[in-house]
Amino acid sequence: MAPAIKGALFDFDMTLADSSYAITTCVNLLADLYGLGKVSRQTVLESIGLPMEGCFRYYWGDFRQEWLDSYREKFRSEEQQSLKLYPSALPTLAALRARGIKVGVASNRRFAKHVTDITGLTPYLDAIVGLEDVKRAKPEPDVLLIGCERLGVLPEESIYVGDTDIDMQTAVAAGTRGVGMTTGNFDAEALAGAGAWRVFDDLSGVVSFTEE
């Protein structure tokens, strides 16, 4: 029998918030600035979960530090201000904490607290782990291991909720249970194939199965 769930870590992009439109808009502003090819929302969805360096390589087959510096300086604020939480995000986090489950965010975003502050998530969280806290990005397990440590729970006592195959692979690597969300670019079959323990279409499903 699996241990009781004492901690729940969440990915941010396309799991708690739809960031795809905001990123697409701002990436294309960067493309205009440097004469790069336009990027579709579908391409953005396909790359969400990668660090920004990896996203740029996915978009344009290359990475230059000046692109990243310009994005952070000129467009990052606009992107962050345009993020949209899913309607069930805050109720889900509140319901889990009401049941005594510790809750956190573990993301490949650098300085993830910036976006949790802007979207109003921070007061609902017991831990926030971003790329600045680890040496290795997902799918390496570092963000989840540090997240569990900060929550004060063991990996086997926790779940990781995410929308990509990388998220599920990270959960498997960390020894936690992966919960897939079909709110991103991956359907239930793909998430299960990547190691998901459970799959839901809405975050409210996470609350329902922790009450079982």
Residues 205 and 104 in one domain: yes
Q: Do residues 76 and 119 both lie within one domain? A: no
Helix (H, G, I), strand (E, B) or coil at 45: helix
Q: Which domain holds residue 40?
A: 20-81
End residue of a domain, out of 81, 108, 132: 81
Whether 24 and 98 map to the same domain: the answer is no
Does 93 share its domain with 61?
Answer: no
Provide the pLDDT confidence category of residue 212 given band limits of 50, 70 and 90: low
Pair (25, 99) in one structural domain? no
In a domain, 2, yes or no: no
Whether residue 152 is contained in a domain is answered as yes
Which residues are within 8 A (CB) of 122 and not within 5 positions of it... i.e. 6 or more apart?
Answer: 113, 116, 128
Query: CA-CA distance, 198 to 127, in Å (whole number)?
Result: 23
Residues 65 and 94 in one domain: no
91 with 157, same domain? yes
> What's the CA gap between 43 and 30, in Å, rounded?
15
Number of domains in the chain: 2
d(CA 82, CA 62): 26
- Given 63, 81, 99, the domain boundary residue is 81
Question: Each residue of 21-71: pLDDT tens digit?
Answer: 999 999 999 999 999 999 999 999 999 988 899 999 999 999 999 999 999
Same domain, 123 and 160: yes
Our CA angle for 55, 171, 80, nearest 5°, is: 40
Same domain? 118 vs 176: yes
CATH code where residue 43 lies: 1.10.150
Tell me what pLDDT residue 169 has: 97
Q: Is residue 1 part of a domain?
A: no
The β-bridge relationship of strands 17-18 and 84-85 is: antiparallel
Total number of residues shown for the chain? 212
- Mean pLDDT, all residues of the chain: 95
- The verdict on 38 and 118 lying in the same domain is no
3 C-beta neighbours (distance < 10 Å), count: 12
Amino acid in the structure at residue 18: D
CA distance 164 to 193: 11
Q: For 125-168, what is each residue's pLDDT tens digit?
A: 999 999 999 999 999 999 999 999 999 999 999 999 999 999 99
Is pLDDT at 80 greater than 70 in this prediction?
yes
